[in-house]
Structure 1
Amino acid sequence: MFELIPHDDIEQDLERLDVINPVIVDQVAALIQQLMDDPQLVDDLLRNGFGGEPWRPARGAIFNVRTWGDAQRAGLNLWAIRDFELSRQGFEFRIVYAVFPRCEKIYILAIIERAWDYDLSHPTSRRIVASYRALEEEL
């Protein structure tokens, strides 16, 4: 069974988002807590395409899951969650996480606006990759 671990890096994301809109922080924090409390939801984080789309969600889905294609092609096991409730409210954010199957750990590495567009050269992407590499060394 995989363990979900929020990385220290998300604190700076949450602080930045709190200035933009505290509702976003509350929603993201609630989703992370829900994930940590429900092993089935953690398992769903390993299913690319889980949850459907916000305009056509799977029955009962509160988020969807996608691999981060460019990162995967670069050898990084990075994924992203889209929270449907935030999307319905007009807030397009992603929760980016790393999956380490060998030790059955999932680390939440960032909470970022969708506008970053998954560009690996973006400063936030570079931060995520650096954290991923550091975890790889540790684990």
Structure 2
Amino acid sequence: MYLRSTEYKFKHIYNITTLKNYCDYAECDIKQAERVIQQIRKYQQDLFDHVQNVLNTEMKPVVYLHRSINYSTKKKEYRIFVEIRPQVEKEQIDGHRVNGEYKEQKNFTGTERNSAFKYAEELAKKYRCPIEKTGYWRM
């Protein structure tokens, strides 16, 4: 939003028509600012309603074991993390993936494969949840 009325210098102008136009510009800017304030208040209310929905949504932890190849070094990498996933019926809302909270992220190199699997199993026991493998895995 751009308010242009405050940028007009008027002390040097003695033309009543021009000063009236500046006053009209200021009135227009005030109306536009009030419209934007109403939109922000509606956004804030919608955000509050969504927070209430999130607080009432059941969450389920999942341990992710993600394997990837770093294309600059050509080495394998493992990333282990816990996602506290909301239990909703859709995977996407408004074109965006449904995101939960991420906890306890740790990265391992390809030579630390066994340590990565062990850490994933420890997290699965700690949170009492399944392990999901994602990323590049050989079949």
Say whether the fold is shared (TM-score over 0.5): no
- Whichever of the two has the greater Rg, that structure is 2
Higher strand share: 2
TM-score, structure 1 as length reference: 0.28
